[in-house]
Amino acid sequence: MDSITLIAMASIITAGITTSIGCMMPALGEGKAVASALSSIAQQPDAAPTITRTLFVGLAMIESTAIYCFVVSMILIFANPFWTHIIAK
């Protein structure tokens, strides 16, 4: 097991785990937010535009945490500075 293999394995496994674990709770949080939005619209149809607008801002905030994980995952696969250093050696 040379250095290149080890760095590659660590990058592959971490990239997968980061995305999969990091996407769990945003999905649940968005589900909760959407569910609340729908029952709010049903309760107060006149406020639908305000509710929808607030929902989209909130979903964007929640999605941002999933994006962080996806970004870290992509960095580890396609722009990994440790991998660059090792294969350049």
Question: Least distance in Å: CB of 3 to a copy of itself?
Answer: 4
Q: Interface with a copy of itself includes 84 (CB under 8 A)?
A: no
Q: Interface with a copy of itself includes 27 (CB under 8 A)?
A: yes
Between CA 23 and CA 35, with CA 18 as vertex, the angle to 5 degrees is: 10
d(CA 26, CA 8): 28
Tokens 């980061």 belong to which residue? 18
Q: Where are the beta strands (DSSP E) in the chain?
A: none
Subset of residues 35 to 74 that bind a copy of itself, contact rule: CB under 8 A: 35-48, 50-52, 54-59, 61-66, 68-70, 72-73
Question: Least distance in Å: CB of 88 to a copy of itself?
Answer: 11
